[in-house]
Structure 1
Amino acid sequence: IIIGTKYIQDENTSNKFIWAIDKKNGNKLFEVNLGVGSIISTDTSGFWLQKGYIYASNNDKIFKISAQNGKIVWQRKVNGNVHRHTVIADSQAVYYTTLKGKFGSLKLKNGTVNWKVNIEEGIITPPTVINGSLLIIGDSSIYVVDKKEGLIYQKIPTGHSPYSAATIFRNRVFLGAGEPPINGLLFCFEFNQGVNNNLEISQDFYVGNTLNSKKLQLTIETKNNWDEAIIDPSVLSDAAEIKGQKIGNNIFVFQIPLKNTNINSWYTLSIK
Structure 2
Amino acid sequence: MQTPTVISGEDFQKFREFFHRKTGMLFEDSKRYFVDKRLLERMTATDNESFRSYFTMLRFQASGAELQTLINAMTVNETYFFREEYQFRCLVDSILREVVARRSSSRPIRIWSVPSSSGEEPYGIAIYLLEHWPLLEKWDVEIISSDIDTRILEKARNGLYADRAVQNMPGPLLKKYFRRVGSHYQISRSLQEAVEFTRVNVHDAADMRSHRQFDVIFCRNLLIYFDDLSRKRTAESFFDALNPGGFICLGHSESMSRISSLFQIRRFPEAIVYQKPLEAR
Calculate the TM-score normalised by the size of structure 2. 0.27
Q: Relative to total residues, which structure has the larger helix share, 1 or 2?
A: 2
Calculate the TM-score normalised by the size of structure 1. 0.28
Higher relative contact order (CA 8 A, sep 6+): 2
Q: Relative to total residues, which structure has the larger strand share, 1 or 2?
A: 1
